Amino acid sequence: MRLPGERPRAERDLSVIVVNWNTRELLRACLTSLERHLASVDHEIVVVDNASSDGSADMVTADFSAVRLVRNSENVGFGRANNQAMRLAEGRLLLLLNADTVLTDDSVARLVESIRGEKDIGVAQCRLMLPDGRVQHTAYRFPSVALAAVESLGLYKLLPKRRAGSILLSGFWDYDQERDVDWVAGAFMLVPRRVFEATGGFDERSFMYGEDLEWCYRIREQGWRIRYYPSASITHVDHASAGLRWRDEERLAICLRTQRDIFLERHGPARTMALMTLRVVGAAVRIPYYSARRLLGGSRAAAYRDMQTYTFQSFRALVPLVLSRR
Which of 245, 272, 304 is at the close of a domain?
245
- Both 75 and 25 in one domain: the answer is yes
What is the total count of domains within the chain? 2
Using one digit for the tens of pLDDT, what is the confidence trace for 114-154? 998 888 999 999 999 999 999 999 999 999 999 999 999 99
Cα–Cα dist 112/13, whole Å? 9
- Both 258 and 236 in one domain: the answer is no
Using one digit for the tens of pLDDT, what is the confidence trace for 34-72? 999 999 999 999 999 999 999 999 999 999 999 999 999
Largest CA distance in the chain: 69
229-248 average pLDDT score? 71
- Both 214 and 313 in one domain: the answer is no
Please tell me whether residue 229 adopts helix, strand or coil conformation. Answer: strand
- Both 284 and 319 in one domain: the answer is yes
- Both 123 and 272 in one domain: the answer is no
The dihedrals phi and psi of 191, each to the nearest 5 degrees, come to -125, 125
Q: Is 261 domain-assigned?
A: yes
- Both 264 and 233 in one domain: the answer is no
- Both 125 and 77 in one domain: the answer is yes
- Both 91 and 215 in one domain: the answer is yes
Where does residue 51 fall: left (phi above 0), alpha (psi -120 to 50 degrees), or beta otherwise? left
In this prediction, residue 303 carries a pLDDT of: 85
Owning domain of residue 113: 12-137+175-245
Cα–Cα dist 117/112, whole Å? 10
CB 86: neighbour CB atoms within 10 A? Answer: 24
- Both 313 and 231 in one domain: the answer is no
- Both 240 and 105 in one domain: the answer is yes
Please tell me whether residue 144 adopts helix, strand or coil conformation. Answer: coil
Lowest model confidence (mean pLDDT) among 15-19, 29-33, 180-184, 285-289 = 285-289
Please tell me whether residue 80 adopts helix, strand or coil conformation. Answer: helix
pTM of the model: 0.91
Question: What is the C-alpha R_g of the chain?
Answer: 20
Which of 245, 268, 285 is at the close of a domain?
245
Please tell me whether residue 116 adopts helix, strand or coil conformation. Answer: coil
22-38 average pLDDT score? 97
What is the 8-class DSSP label of residue 100? T
- Both 188 and 95 in one domain: the answer is yes
